[in-house]
């Protein structure tokens, strides 16, 4: 068993994978939590892959071209390969080669980056402008805040460093408005609260400010 499998339940977040994959269960997590709890967060393009004999179903090794690193400079300043289980039932991740740029998050073990369906992985062109700004600086500012999940009403924050995350009430576990447009950031007075900032809807402006 490869090391990252032990993180399946602990580091659950939305990803590109099939939620119905047998034996792969992921707890929802806001992208900010995924960012703060990951060793590595990068933007990259997959340029190759191979299957190696490791674990019960093998391990997929993706060769990537790293475009930008957002987190992990001290852990692994440059990532060339990422590792994932070959089987989706073990939360293995399937990525397209030479097709898309991806936002990839994962953990580092023995000098290797491991990722899977329970990590936050998304096509770069599917991220909102607010999420891209979050990767650049907003999520980092909120790593000392706590995002508290609300599955059933009533829900309340219990301390000043909490933001109440209610996407699950209306989106049935899928990424909702808070996930796509908000970051939980500490404000004046030490209180954490949701912050969006200004997000232009003009696509040409979004492209011009693309991080």
CATH 3.90.370.10 residue ranges of the chain are 128-199
Residues 187 and 193 sit within 8 Å (Cβ to Cβ): yes
Q: What's the average model confidence in pLDDT over 110-119? A: 94
Binding residue ranges: 24
> pLDDT class for 173, splitting at 50, 70, 90?
low
What are the CA-CA distances from residue 8 to residues 86, 149, 195, 202 (Å)? 15, 18, 29, 38
Strand residues in 2-138 grouped as ranges (E): 40-52, 59-71, 81-85, 101-109, 112-114, 122-123
Residue 154 contacts by C-beta under 8 Å, 6 or more apart in sequence?
A: none
Q: Which pTM was predicted?
A: 0.80
Percent share of the chain, pLDDT over 70 = 80
CA angle at residue 187 from 184 to 190, to 5 degrees?
105
d(CA 2, CA 102): 23
Homologous superfamily (CATH) of 128-199 is Tissue inhibitor of metalloproteinase-1. Chain B, domain 1 (3.90.370.10)
Domain 27-127 annotated CATH 2.40.50.120: yes
DSSP 3-state assignment of 171?
Answer: helix
Binding residue ranges for Zn(2+): 24
CATH 2.40.50.120 residue ranges of the chain are 27-127
> What is the model's pLDDT at position 147?
96
Residues 178-203 have pLDDT tens digits of 999 999 999 888 899 999 875 443 33
Residues 209 and 58 sit within 8 Å (Cβ to Cβ): no
CA angle at residue 134 from 69 to 179, to 5 degrees?
120
DSSP tag of 151: -
Q: Within 10 Å of residue 210's Cβ, how many Cβ atoms? A: 11
> pLDDT class for 160, splitting at 50, 70, 90?
very high
Q: What's the average model confidence in pLDDT over 43-54? A: 92
Question: Is pLDDT of 170 > 90?
Answer: no
Highest mean pLDDT among 55-59, 101-105, 147-151, 192-196: 101-105
- Kindly write down the DSSP assignment for every residue of 102-132, as one continuous string: EEEEEEEETTEEE--TTS--EEGGGS-HHHH
């Amino acid at each position: 068993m490869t090391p990252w499998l032990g993180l399946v339940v602990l580091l659950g977040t939305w990803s590109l994978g099939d939620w119905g994959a047998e034996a792969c269960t992921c707890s929802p997590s806001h992208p900010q939590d995924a960012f703060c709890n990951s060793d590595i967060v990068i933007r990259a393009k997959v340029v190759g892959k191979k299957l190696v004999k490791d674990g019960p179903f093998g391990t997929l090794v993706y060769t990537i071209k790293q475009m930008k690193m957002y987190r992990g400079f001290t852990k692994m300043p440059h990532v060339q390969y990422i590792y994932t289980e070959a089987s989706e039932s073990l939360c293995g991740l399937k990525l397209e080669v030479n097709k898309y740029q991806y936002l990839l998050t994962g953990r580092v073990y023995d000098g290797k980056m491991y990722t899977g369906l329970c990590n936050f992985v998304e096509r770069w062109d599917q991220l909102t402008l607010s999420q891209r700004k979050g990767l650049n600086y907003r999520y980092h500012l909120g790593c000392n805040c706590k995002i508290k999940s609300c599955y059933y009403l009533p829900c309340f924050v219990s301390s000043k460093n909490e933001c109440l995350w209610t996407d699950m009430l209306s989106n049935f576990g899928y990424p909702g408005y808070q996930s796509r447009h908000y970051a939980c950031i500490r404000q004046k007075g030490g209180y954490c609260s949701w912050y969006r900032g200004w997000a232009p809807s003009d696509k040409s402006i979004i492209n011009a400010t693309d991080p």
